[in-house]
Amino acid sequence: MVPAYAGSFTAEQAEAGERAYNSNCAQCHGRQLEGPEAPGLAGQDVMGNWDTAGGLYDFISVAMPPSAPGQLGEETYVNIVAYIMKFNGAVPGDTQLTSDRDYAVSLVAETSAGAASQDAAALDAGGAAAPAADASAAAAPAETAVPQAYTWGTQLPGGSTEQPAATPAAPATTSVPQAYTWGKELPTAGAK
């Protein structure tokens, strides 16, 4: 049974895209799309940067590879987009991705729904959860109390939404990671 959200590209397109990617893109973007020499192409942040398959296609079809921009041909670029989608968790279907149809295909929706479906299918089959899901749950960042002054009033992801009660009698201490202070000790509030 193919999930309802699948169908934006075929398995054959993704396979052809993988071959084309390995021949034309992997030397800069990495075999695992990790981007050792050029930007990485894996992860929901990357998918969100391009928004749609059409946005990604528009860029790579005129700018990639740097040594021969726009020279791979429409079908090859579409197949590479299909491979990038599959690598990021999207599920292939029966409908081919085309350069004039891919503007409606949300990269974030396709890849996140596909990854969630694959994790659920593994659990339904009695298997263990996907390693990526386990790793992200196990590697949940510890809560760090960063004063709002250092975040320009914006709550940091994963941080507590509760605001600490101010104690006027005692100076507040900060627990700002050293990465945010460039290795320098910050003064405590109220210290002179």
Which residue matches tokens 């339904």?
A: 124
Mean pLDDT of 142-146: 43
Q: What is the pLDDT of residues 18-31, one digit of tens each?
A: 999 999 999 999 99
**For the domain 11-131, what is the CATH code?**
1.10.760.10
Give me the half-sphere count of Cα atoms (radius 13 Å) on the Cβ side of residue 112: 10
Q: Where are the domains of the chain?
A: 11-131
149 vs 54, higher pLDDT: 54
Q: Is 100 helix (H, G, I), strand (E, B) or coil?
A: coil
Judge whether residue 98 has pLDDT over 80: yes
Q: Which of 89, 101, 96 minimizes the C-alpha distance to 44?
A: 89
